[in-house]
Structure 1
Amino acid sequence: MHLLVDRNVPLAEGFFGELGEVTRIPGREISAEHVRDKDALIVRSTTRVNADLLEGSRVRFVATCTIGTDHVDLDYLKDKGIGFASAPGSNAESVGDYVLASLMTLAQSEGVPLTERKVGILGAGNVGGRVWQRLAALGVDCLVCDPPRAEREAHNDFVGVDALIEQCDVLCVHTPLVREGNHPTHHLLDATRIDALAPGTWLVSAGRGECVDNDALHQRLIRRGDLRTVLDVWEGEPACDPGLMTKVDIATPHIAGHSLDGKMRGTEMAYQALVTHFGLPARHSVALLQPGPWLREITLDSDTPPLEALSIAIRGCYDIRRDMASFLRYVDYYGTSTGFDRYRSEYPVRREFSTVSVRLEGGEADHSLRTLLEAAGFSVAA
């Protein structure tokens, strides 16, 4: 078997090496010529998988190591009898870490506790649902909008988009990109809704770039400059609006889900689906192949104020400010598109909060301190 695997997929040789020859190419560079003689294709979100790429090839199985599938022509694969798998939920914890790090950074910059904000979550799937779960466990008041789930679940407390805009001072966007049907999400936050955001609203977009009208957001920030904004996803990636980058508070190049742990889970899910498709035994797992984290434990005094302890633990594991500073340096040096892709391909190792244990010493820890740290995703030892 000959497999073509995106260069940004970790542990590929460990998982797929014994199955045959593995060729590695950057995802955005994968072409029809590259896949012509391949039996299987393993990608991430930067590769457009469609007839232009696969027609005339011998590819019989495609997997994307990502939650989203809008970069894959599923109808074409089905029509051609090509097996397919995605990795739903693989990077949900990683995005949850990113969102919490973003919100804590904004809260600290404004000198207000995160628990005093009311958060509206657009989309309660694998990612949004876990963000909701974490914030609620932290004691943050949340409202959630998810029309497809509202239709499926007879008894729920979901609200509409406009109700979120009216009632919340934080919006977190985690919807998939849907262009047709009863609940399209393309420009879900359009010019009208962006204009309706109350001054001082925090907007975090870490789902799909096209769900937020980037031009309308840019114009709002130019005219009024009264929103706090975190954008990890952009319209037209990687050729996104460089002017908008300079206006937002935190700008990153679609790396919210780029923890090593999330990527490794995606690789494992693709591997499991591939061996099942070809009727082969599964011999490998993340547990056997993953490296240990660089930072294993943080020690804090048990008298540390809970929100201060949470901030220290988050910054120790993942300082989102470094991502923004590094990304903007890449853009300044390489240009927008090349800098965007290059930072993603050279992304530094980042581990999830769950890989770090917080040890509390010096006496009996306040119950709220332990609860807060565990709610954020850390393990706690005393």
Structure 2
Amino acid sequence: MKILADENMPYVDALFGDLGDIHYVNGRSLSADEVADADVLLVRSVTKVNEALLSKNQRLKFVGSATIGTDHVDKALLERRGIPFANAPGCNATAVGEFAFIAMLELGKRYGETLKGKKVAIVGAGNTGTALSRCLDAYGVDYRLCDPLLASAGDKRRFYPLDELIGWADVVSLHVPITKDGPHPTWYLFDEARLNALKPNAWLLNCCRGEVIDNRALIKIKGQRADVKLVLDVWEGEPNPMPELVPLVDIATPHIAGYSLEGKARGTFMLYQSLCKILGISEDKTLNTLLPAFRFSSLGLELGVNAALSEPNLLALCRTVYDIRDDDWQFRRDALHNGGFDNMRKNHKHRREFSALKLENATGTEVNWVSFLGFSNVG
């Protein structure tokens, strides 16, 4: 069985090596000729799985995408041709939630403000938006949700209209899929009018898809409103962001919000599980065996009985696991030159989730929330 896999998908050898011959490909430039004799196709969001790509293949048994979103896959085509498909919903949700939370702490530090006093609008309450809400719940930050699709589907959480939230929120964090059709399209969801409606000194974060924000309108608005602070992990026109936008952004990264080692491993593992089910074979691998040990076996957290963990100290703790400033610095240096955007994504192997760090000697009445935030074995 020939398995065609994106060269940037981790742990493929460890998980799929016993199931067939693995051939690695450049997912962004993958051609129909390369796919022609593949039995299994494993992709990421940079590959458009469509009629053109599959035109020369008559033997595919499975297509898997190690992603939450599926807008890059023509699922109707796969269904017509009887090709099973699986993606990995929720695989990197924790990583995206933690990324947004860390970015908010960084903005607070940079501008002498505190996240805990902010009101946060989470636009999109699926897996990643919910992961962010868990972080905010743990830290005691006031937030509200907007997701008309989940609201109409009967989700019991309380939802608010988007334009109402824009007028309420100090921070807006975007977590929606990209859609152009239906009753609630998200393409250019934040157009010039909505961008201009942001509150004074608002923070705007985009960790989903670049085209959820009209980037040219964003450049215009930033020229008029320096008060708006921006965190962009995704960009219109990836992997070629608009060069004039980058200097206007406070924290800039190359679509790596979900790129924790845990999230990457989880995504590939979910595809392995799906293929095993399709082939009717038992799984003989586990997720835990894939991950390397964290660079610290544990970290002491010393607080007095009635002491609280200050926001600067919380940020320092988060930086121990992932320092977003490193990616921001490298992005500004490399991302606009010689394939730098994709190279950063390809070589991004240092990011871990809060759960990788075990905290020891934790005492104090406010320590339990640190465990709810995701750090391991607080006690």
Question: Which TM-score tier does this pair reach, normalised by the shorter chain?
Answer: over 0.9
The answer (yes or no) to whether the contact 2:254–2:335 under 8 Å persists in 1 is no
**Gap change, CA 1:263 and 1:156, over 3 Å in 2:** closer
Taking the aligned partners of 1:357 and 1:64, their CA distance within structure 2 comes to 31
AA of the residue aligned to 1:314: C
The answer (yes or no) to whether the contact 2:96–2:257 under 8 Å persists in 1 is yes
The answer (yes or no) to whether the contact 2:36–2:56 under 8 Å persists in 1 is yes
Taking the aligned partners of 2:259 and 2:157, their CA distance within structure 1 comes to 32
Taking the aligned partners of 1:275 and 1:259, their CA distance within structure 2 comes to 24
Taking the aligned partners of 2:202 and 2:313, their CA distance within structure 1 comes to 26
* TM-superposed deviation, 1:313: 1.2
Map of 2:227 onto structure 1: 226
AA of the residue aligned to 1:11: Y
Q: Does 1:371 align with 2:375?
A: no
Q: Does 1:34 align with 2:34?
A: yes
Map of 1:311 onto structure 2: 315
Taking the aligned partners of 1:240 and 1:85, their CA distance within structure 2 comes to 29
TM-score, normalised to structure 2, is 0.95
Number of paired residues? 375
The answer (yes or no) to whether the contact 1:298–1:313 under 8 Å persists in 2 is no
**Gap change, CA 1:155 and 1:4, over 3 Å in 2:** closer
SS in 2 for 1:246: helix
* TM-superposed deviation, 1:154: 6.9
Bigger proportion of residues as helix: 1
Map of 1:346 onto structure 2: 347
The answer (yes or no) to whether the contact 1:373–1:380 under 8 Å persists in 2 is no
Taking the aligned partners of 2:215 and 2:191, their CA distance within structure 1 comes to 9
Q: Does 1:242 align with 2:243?
A: yes
The answer (yes or no) to whether the contact 2:96–2:131 under 8 Å persists in 1 is no
TM-score, normalised to structure 1, is 0.95
Map of 1:22 onto structure 2: 22
Instruction: Pick one of 320, 327, 330 that aligns with 1:326.
Output: 330
Q: How is 1:1-382 mapped onto 2 (pairs within 5 angstroms)?
A: 1-57=1-57, 58-153=59-154, 155-303=156-304, 305-306=308-309, 307-331=311-335, 334-335=337-338, 338-360=339-361, 365-368=363-366, 370-382=367-379
The answer (yes or no) to whether the contact 1:310–1:372 under 8 Å persists in 2 is no
The answer (yes or no) to whether the contact 1:233–1:252 under 8 Å persists in 2 is yes
SS in 2 for 1:301: coil
Taking the aligned partners of 1:54 and 1:292, their CA distance within structure 2 comes to 39
AA of the residue aligned to 2:63: V
* TM-superposed deviation, 1:305: 4.3
* TM-superposed deviation, 1:184: 0.9
The answer (yes or no) to whether the contact 1:310–1:373 under 8 Å persists in 2 is no
* TM-superposed deviation, 1:224: 2.1
* TM-superposed deviation, 1:155: 5.0
SS in 2 for 1:234: coil
AA of the residue aligned to 1:36: A
Q: Which runs of 5+ in 2 are unaligned?
A: none
Per-residue CA deviation, residues 320-364 of structure 1 (Å, 9 max, x unaligned), is: 0001101222135x34xx111111111132111111112236xxx
Taking the aligned partners of 2:291 and 2:146, their CA distance within structure 1 comes to 36
AA of the residue aligned to 1:366: G
* TM-superposed deviation, 1:133: 2.1
Taking the aligned partners of 1:329 and 1:137, their CA distance within structure 2 comes to 35
AA of the residue aligned to 1:347: H
The answer (yes or no) to whether the contact 2:308–2:364 under 8 Å persists in 1 is no
Taking the aligned partners of 2:155 and 2:73, their CA distance within structure 1 comes to 32
Taking the aligned partners of 1:63 and 1:162, their CA distance within structure 2 comes to 36
**Gap change, CA 1:226 and 1:377, over 3 Å in 2:** same
**Gap change, CA 1:225 and 1:380, over 3 Å in 2:** same
SS in 1 for 2:28: helix
Taking the aligned partners of 2:155 and 2:47, their CA distance within structure 1 comes to 38
* TM-superposed deviation, 1:42: 0.5
Taking the aligned partners of 1:380 and 1:289, their CA distance within structure 2 comes to 21
Taking the aligned partners of 2:276 and 2:199, their CA distance within structure 1 comes to 51
AA of the residue aligned to 2:86: A
AA of the residue aligned to 1:372: W
SS in 2 for 1:271: helix
* TM-superposed deviation, 1:8: 1.2
AA of the residue aligned to 2:52: D
Taking the aligned partners of 1:308 and 1:379, their CA distance within structure 2 comes to 20
